[in-house]
Amino acid sequence: MKPWIILLLGLFSITAAFGSDPLVPKLTAAAGIAAREPINSVCPVSGDTVGSVGKPIYGEYQGTPVAFCCKDCARKFRKHPGKYGPLAEKNQTAHEPM
Ligand SMILES: [Zn+2]
């Protein structure tokens, strides 16, 4: 084999390896989200059981998935994560009126 052919083949294998790369992080990210269950079953804002009022809304507190019973609670949490986050970690609630 001539040296330039070896060089060409080398370039091809590099392109092939990098060509499939962009898919890998996407797949692992999707699997990571699916594998992460929220830490709480009770809405930390209102005290309703998550999923009892409708489709649960998911948020995040310090990298931990947290579930809420509704959009309003998720919005309140985003305004005051320091207030509701620690409650969610203990599966406790502020029992706030809606
Ligand atoms: Zn709620």
- Domain residues of the chain, as ranges? 37-98
Confidence class for position 20, pLDDT limits 50, 70, 90: low
Whole-number Å distance, alpha carbon 14 to ligand 1 midpoint, is: 51
Q: What is the pLDDT of residue 97?
A: 78
pLDDT of 40: 97
Measured at the alpha carbon of residue 68, what is the angle toward residues 67 and 74, in degrees to the nearest 5?
A: 110
Please give the radius of gyration of the chain, using alpha carbons only, rounded to the nearest integer: 23
27 HSE (CA, 13 A, CB side): 5
Q: Decide if pLDDT at 34 tops 80.
A: no
pTM, 2 dp = 0.63
Tens-place pLDDT, residues 37-95? 999 999 999 999 999 988 999 999 999 999 999 999 999 999 999 999 999 999 999 99
Confidence label for 31 from pLDDT (cuts 50, 70 and 90): very low
Which strand (E) or helix (H) includes residue 15? Answer: helix 3-19
Assess whether pLDDT exceeds 80 at residue 28.
no
CA of 8 to the centre of ligand 1 (A): 61
Q: d(Cα 55, Cα 69) in Å, to the nearest integer?
A: 7
Q: Cα of 74 to ligand 1 centre, how many Å? A: 7
